[in-house]
Amino acid sequence: MKIGHQYNSAVHGFSQETYTRYMFQPYSASFSLFRCIRYMLHSRLILNLFSWKEKSKLQDKETSLKKAAAKGSKAEQKAKKKQVEEEISRLSAALEAKHAAELATFGYKPAESSEKGNLDTLVKAIAGVSVSSNADSAKPGKAAKRREKKAKEEAAREQRIQEEQTNLVSDRMLEDGKLGRRLEPLGLTIHEIKPDGHCLYRAIENQLSLHSKGTTQYNHQELRQMTAKYMREHAADFLPFFLSEGKAESGPDPSESFEKYCEEMESTAAWGGQLELGALTHCLKKHIVVYSGSFPDVEMGKEYNKSGPGGDPSIRLSYHRHAYGLGEHYNSVIPTELS
């Protein structure tokens, strides 16, 4: 694209008066100052062109994802629409941060600041360099290089985040689509659980409440304490799996690492997984089924499986590998008519 002198406020990002003043007026005595300002305005123009292009690509991505989300059952469409809105919101925030970091390298403040203030900042910054002596010019030059390097690193980081978020949207939608197709014939659907580190325990708390028609004797914190207690009392059963999963810290005594692991489990928001599920199935004497769009279904505590008319219903969970950028997640699985 050739960048000519035709003014366009949507692309240039500053008023026509400012553009004309510094792009067309003859050089004054302060030749280097005007040359710097012209360079900075051209740089700002280029940044705005790239920003416009990136925003346009994000809008195209949003349209594509919304079309993909408009397929399947009503429950699936609702879940997919929510996912798309969340991820597009994250991508938009990351893109805005990236653009703000790029503009900051030229002395521009956020969009709500006045243009006059931005222009004054720019002129003062450049004038400070232009009128300084040769002896002092090296210091601003080094500072400018540091700012430029930092801005490039920040832009690269934001670009990586944006790419990861884009991939996450696709992976999440694929995983949720497979899981939805697995659950729909069973008359089941997902009940979303807050992703706060307690998701496994909150999902089980939700299941217990569902089975007891709104009341449960255990909350998520009590389930944590119960799990840690059972694992300590049956350390010989859990320690080999604990070591095989690489959870133990380096040291001569793995039992110390195991105890530390149990302490974190009962007192922090540490994420729970298969070890904890193995303990919970025995603590609660419940059959647990974990559905997934990435792996085959997992069953634990088959000896407690008494589902059926008059039997004790199974605890049903869903495992999501790509639900959030922070890692794996568990939700509760409930009958569709209760959603």
Task: Check whether residue 334 and residue 197 sit in a common domain.
Answer: yes
Report the C-alpha gap between 64 and 118 in whole angstroms. Answer: 37
**pLDDT for the residue 16:** 56
Mean pLDDT of 175-181: 91
Q: Is the pLDDT of residue 126 over 60?
A: no
Q: State the pTM of this model.
A: 0.53
Task: Check whether residue 225 and residue 146 sit in a common domain.
Answer: no
**pLDDT for the residue 231:** 97
Task: Check whether residue 61 and residue 82 sit in a common domain.
Answer: yes
**182 class by beta-carbon count within 10 Å (0-12 exposed, 13-18 middle, 19+ buried):** middle
| Beta sheet of 327-335, edge-to-edge order | 188-191, 327-335, 315-324, 288-292, 298-300
Task: Check whether residue 23 and residue 163 sit in a common domain.
Answer: yes
Q: Is the pLDDT of residue 137 over 90?
A: no
- Among residues 151, 181, 211, which one ends one of the domains? 181
Length of the chain, please?
Answer: 339
**pLDDT for the residue 306:** 79
Task: Check whether residue 27 and residue 57 sit in a common domain.
Answer: yes
Assess if residue 42 is contained within a domain: yes
Q: If you search the block for the tokens 């920040």, which residue do you land on?
A: 154
Q: In the annotation, is 42 catalytic? A: no
Assess if residue 241 is contained within a domain: yes
**pLDDT for the residue 219:** 95
**pLDDT for the residue 117:** 55
Band of the pLDDT at 79, cuts 50, 70, 90? Answer: confident
* CATH number of the domain to which 196 belongs: 3.90.70.80
Q: Are 18 and 36 in contact (CB under 8 A)?
A: no
Task: Check whether residue 210 and residue 82 sit in a common domain.
Answer: no
**pLDDT for the residue 252:** 66
Computed from CA positions of residues 7, 9, 13, 15, in that sequence, does the dihedral angle turn out positive or negative? positive
For the chain, what is the mean pLDDT? 76
**pLDDT for the residue 134:** 46
Q: In the annotation, is 36 catalytic? A: no
**pLDDT for the residue 130:** 45
Task: Check whether residue 48 and residue 169 sit in a common domain.
Answer: yes
Spot the catalytic one: 12, 191, 220, 329. 329
The residue with greater pLDDT, 131 or 208, is 208
Task: Check whether residue 169 and residue 34 sit in a common domain.
Answer: yes
Assess if residue 4 is contained within a domain: no
Structural domain boundaries, residue 241:
187-338
- Among residues 130, 163, 181, which one ends one of the domains? 181
Band of the pLDDT at 27, cuts 50, 70, 90? Answer: very low
Assess if residue 1 is contained within a domain: no
Q: In the annotation, is 199 catalytic? A: yes
**pLDDT for the residue 139:** 55
Residues in a beta bridge with 188: 335
The residue with greater pLDDT, 11 or 81, is 81
Task: Check whether residue 327 and residue 194 sit in a common domain.
Answer: yes
Spot the catalytic one: 176, 198, 199, 287. 199
The domain total for the chain is 2
pLDDT digits (tens, 9 = 90+) for 191-244: 999 999 999 999 999 999 999 877 778 999 999 999 999 999 999 999 998 888
What percentage of the chain reaches a pLDDT higher than 70?
Answer: 65
- Among residues 117, 150, 181, which one ends one of the domains? 181
Spot the catalytic one: 60, 136, 196, 237. 196
Q: Is the pLDDT of residue 272 over 50?
A: yes
**pLDDT for the residue 147:** 84
**pLDDT for the residue 169:** 58
Q: Is the pLDDT of residue 319 over 70?
A: yes
Assess if residue 73 is contained within a domain: yes
Q: Is the pLDDT of residue 249 over 70?
A: no
Mean pLDDT of 6-18: 51
